């Protein structure tokens, strides 16, 4: 299989400060993507910019705040964005395919499998898949949050060699370098700790939605799936190729983990938990550190409405998220037997298929 690189380009890199597409920037990125092809790499592109490209064309003086105004802007801007990419890539002999997604598209493992098959077919035929969130129909509570997260999910899905997140800053600093001249740049990060998160601020520009914090979220998702991440700038010829090869002007997030299966990715980041199980310290340790299944005896409380086969979130005694798993009990049954030892559970619930509330094969740690 050819080396795969997922590239995410933010709104601020594609549009002017007041919206509208920057054709020169798109031509530049098309050339950089074409160079990846020449080096034998299969690029996949995750692009922002639909709302930013469309709000000026639709007549708004600035980026809209109301949902229906953003959706209208995206409806116009997405067409403009794809046409610009198609025209720029055609000059290098490449064809692009548009893939618009929402989080609900990924709530089903079957639909994820279908998406992967489509992506694989496009790559097999030498087509560049261009992903974007379907902002025209997305609502805030069902959105990925930003395209940084989407890019991490795509990188894990296709088992990419690297995720390259391009932005208007050259990496992660100890403070905002625009305000603090003594800010220190981090060249490489092996673990995204709470201290690293505290250094991240809000949105970086007036036309985008994702700041450095969202890029850290994306880096955490990707690296947990075995995909190293680059966050930084590309403005000169060869910058994207350098970033794809582990160099470049930015911060590199390393990982020693292996690639994450589609099943685990769906469970951890794409599924929608329908309830929560609160567990004691022993059960938390068994799940997070010892690779064991969750038994009813370790559960102290049950929340939500769910049935056997649904995904639930598991929280520790302090309310911290431990992970997610597929539950083997209906909510009413589990609520009845939580905290009970195994023999009593089996005696009370006749016809129980398995004792485990969550089997370790249907579990992913997220703490």
322 within 8 A of 316, measured Cβ to Cβ:
yes
Where helices occur in 158-211 by DSSP H, the ranges are 194-198
Burial class (CB in 10 A: 0-12, 13-18, 19+), 15: buried
| Pairwise CA distance, residues 2 & 77, whole Å | 32
Please give the radius of gyration of the chain, using alpha carbons only, rounded to the nearest integer: 22
**Domains of the chain: residue spans and CATH:** 3-263 (3.40.1160.10), 273-365 (2.30.130.10)
Question: Is there a binding annotation on residue 168?
Answer: yes
Question: Is there a binding annotation on residue 213?
Answer: yes
| Pairwise CA distance, residues 181 & 337, whole Å | 59
pTM equals 0.82
Question: Is there a binding annotation on residue 1?
Answer: no
Q: Give the pLDDT of residue 67.
A: 87
Residue pLDDT, tens place only, 305-339: 999 999 999 999 999 999 999 999 999 999 999 99
Question: Is there a binding annotation on residue 203?
Answer: no
Question: Is there a binding annotation on residue 3?
Answer: no
Question: Is there a binding annotation on residue 134?
Answer: no
Q: Give the pLDDT of residue 203.
A: 41
Query: Is it the case that residue 184 has pLDDT exceeding 70?
Result: yes
Question: Is there a binding annotation on residue 135?
Answer: yes
Question: Is there a binding annotation on residue 174?
Answer: no
| Pairwise CA distance, residues 159 & 157, whole Å | 6
Could you tell me the two tokens for 351? 């016809």
Question: Is there a binding annotation on residue 31?
Answer: no
Question: Is there a binding annotation on residue 47?
Answer: no
Question: Is there a binding annotation on residue 12?
Answer: no
Question: Is there a binding annotation on residue 169?
Answer: no
Residue pLDDT, tens place only, 144-162: 656 898 999 899 989 999 9
Residue pLDDT, tens place only, 272-289: 899 999 999 999 999 999
């Amino acid at each position: 299989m050819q080396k795969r690189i997922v590239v995410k380009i933010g709104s601020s890199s594609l549009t002017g400060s007041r919206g509208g597409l920057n054709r020169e920037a798109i031509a530049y990125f098309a050339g950089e993507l074409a160079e990846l092809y020449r080096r034998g790499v299969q690029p996949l592109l995750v692009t922002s910019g639909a709302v930013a490209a469309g709000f000026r064309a639709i007549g708004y003086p600035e980026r809209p705040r109301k949902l229906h105004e953003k959706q209208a802007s995206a409806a116009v801007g997405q067409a403009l964005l794809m046409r610009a990419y198609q025209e720029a890539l055609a000059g290098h002999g490449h064809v692009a395919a548009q893939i618009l997604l929402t989080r609900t598209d990924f709530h089903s493992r079957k639909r994820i499998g279908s998406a992967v098959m489509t992506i694989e077919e496009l790559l097999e035929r030498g087509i560049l898949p261009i992903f974007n969130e379907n902002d025209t129909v997305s609502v805030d509570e069902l959105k990925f949050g930003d395209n940084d997260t989407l890019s991490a999910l795509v990188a894990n899905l296709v088992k990419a060699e690297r995720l390259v997140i391009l932005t208007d800053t050259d990496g992660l600093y100890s403070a905002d370098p625009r305000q603090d001249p003594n800010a220190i740049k981090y060249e490489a990060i092996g673990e995204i700790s709470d201290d690293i998160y505290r250094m991240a601020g809000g949105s970086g520009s007036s036309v985008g939605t994702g700041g450095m914090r969202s890029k850290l979220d994306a880096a955490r998702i990707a690296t947990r799936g075995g995909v190293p991440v680059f966050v930084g700038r590309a403005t000169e010829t060869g910058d994207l190729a350098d970033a794809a090869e582990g160099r470049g002007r930015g911060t590199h997030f390393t990982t020693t983990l292996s690639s994450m299966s589609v099943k685990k990715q769906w469970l951890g980041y794409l599924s929608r938990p329908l309830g929560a199980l609160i567990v004691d310290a022993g059960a938390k340790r068994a799940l997070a550190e010892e690779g064991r299944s969750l038994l009813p005896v370790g559960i102290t409380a049950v929340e939500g409405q769910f049935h056997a086969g649904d995904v639930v979130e598991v929280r520790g005694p302090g309310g911290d998220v431990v992970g997610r798993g597929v539950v083997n009990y209906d909510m009413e049954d589990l609520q009845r037997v939580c905290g009970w030892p195994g023999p009593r559970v089996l005696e009370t619930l006749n016809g129980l298929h398995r004792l485990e509330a969550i089997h370790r094969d249907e579990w992913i740690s997220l703490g």
